[in-house]
Amino acid sequence: MGEFVRLEVADGVGTIRLDRAPVNALNNQVQAELGEAAREATDRADVRAVILYGGEKTFAGGADIKEMAAKSYAEISTFGTALTNSLTALAEIPKPTVAAVTGYALGGGLELALTADRRVAGDNVKVGQPEIQLGIIPGAGGTQRLARLIGPSKAKDLIYTGRFVKAEEALALGIVDEVVAPDDVYSVAHKWAAQFANGPALALRAAKAAIDGGLDLDLRNGLKLETSLFTALWATEDQAGGMASFIENGPGKATFEGK
């Protein structure tokens, strides 16, 4: 457990909780602890789904600008690579992930939210990539994950202008998937994650690998990847049990062991 980031686990759901007052700014230590939490969530068999959460007030206000401004080129090169690697570790958690977004998700904070499979936001949130206002560009996935999520034209508008986007527009653009009352953000995210706590973990892993991996491939090779992951599931106990349950009892009644 880190000083500013911790993994809390209960009933199959792991919550990666940021807690660096006042706005969860992503400094050297936070990015390192995010990577550690991602690896722990990946390795722990008792974690079947993951929530990214910054608390009730704000998700993450972005990078620690005071710390970044003082860095040399060599230092920022090391930091930028480390931050990207930590966020990539979060994106590659082979389990369903959801970001519970409150308050602000700006710059590195939005890049952090973009690593999740799904984003639930409060109706008072503001998101954006304001790096251009500092004379820089997003450096931890914003130009890549955002463009893949909402398309290059919309991503360019947000990144070129650096403007803040309110919840309603973020939903319309597809940056967030669900908007709820601020007090309900975590509970709604938890409800989504909890449905996978007793699910077929290896099939869920394969589904995520097929979707995410296929986005980097042309259709022909994406289909080959899907076929390989699909057929590999015949080596699992969950496939045998799931199909037997369907034949005997109908759909939706199987019990899975994650094996």
Please check whether residues 157 and 207 belong to one and the same domain.
no
Contact 60, 18 (CB under 8 A): yes
Please check whether residues 183 and 90 belong to one and the same domain.
yes
Query: What is the C-alpha separation between 46 and 90, in angstroms, rounded?
Result: 17
Q: Determine the average pLDDT of the residues in 60-75.
A: 91
Predicted TM-score (pTM) of this structure: 0.95
Does residue 123 lie within any of the structural domains? yes
Please check whether residues 62 and 87 belong to one and the same domain.
yes
For the question of residue 131 being annotated catalytic, the response is: yes
Please check whether residues 16 and 91 belong to one and the same domain.
yes
Does residue 149 lie within any of the structural domains? yes
- Token pair of 229, please? 């992951």
Q: Which domain holds residue 222?
A: 201-249
Query: What is the C-alpha separation between 155 and 34, in angstroms, rounded?
Result: 25
Which of 56, 131, 169, 178 does the annotation list as catalytic? 131
For the question of residue 56 being annotated catalytic, the response is: no
Please check whether residues 140 and 217 belong to one and the same domain.
no
Q: What is the pLDDT of residue 18?
A: 97
Q: What is the pLDDT of residue 64?
A: 86
Please check whether residues 134 and 206 belong to one and the same domain.
no
What SS3 class is residue 246? helix
Which of 33, 40, 92, 111 does the annotation list as catalytic? 111
The phi, psi pair for 205, rounded to 5°, reads -60, -45
Q: What is the pLDDT of residue 143?
A: 97
Please check whether residues 44 and 150 belong to one and the same domain.
yes
Selected residue with higher pLDDT from 67 and 126: 126
Q: Render pLDDT for 74-129 as a digit per residue (tens, 0 to 9).
A: 999 999 999 999 999 999 999 999 999 999 999 999 999 999 999 999 999 999 99
Please check whether residues 159 and 216 belong to one and the same domain.
no
Please check whether residues 211 and 130 belong to one and the same domain.
no
What CATH number did the domain enclosing 187 receive?
3.90.226.10
Q: What is the pLDDT of residue 63?
A: 85
What SS3 class is residue 70? coil
- Token pair of 145, please? 């994950």
Q: Render pLDDT for 125-183 as a digit per residue (tens, 0 to 9).
A: 999 999 999 999 999 999 999 999 999 999 999 999 999 999 999 999 999 999 999 99
Measuring CA to CA, how many Å separate 252 from each of 158, 208, 244, 249? 42, 21, 12, 9
CA neighbor of 225 nearest in space, from 216, 213, 234 = 213
- Token pair of 163, please? 């403007």
What CATH number did the domain enclosing 211 receive?
1.10.12
Selected residue with higher pLDDT from 1 and 223: 223
Query: What is the C-alpha separation between 66 and 203, in angstroms, rounded?
Result: 44
Does residue 216 lie within any of the structural domains? yes
Does residue 256 lie within any of the structural domains? no
Please check whether residues 150 and 168 belong to one and the same domain.
yes
- Counting the structural domains of the chain, the total is 2
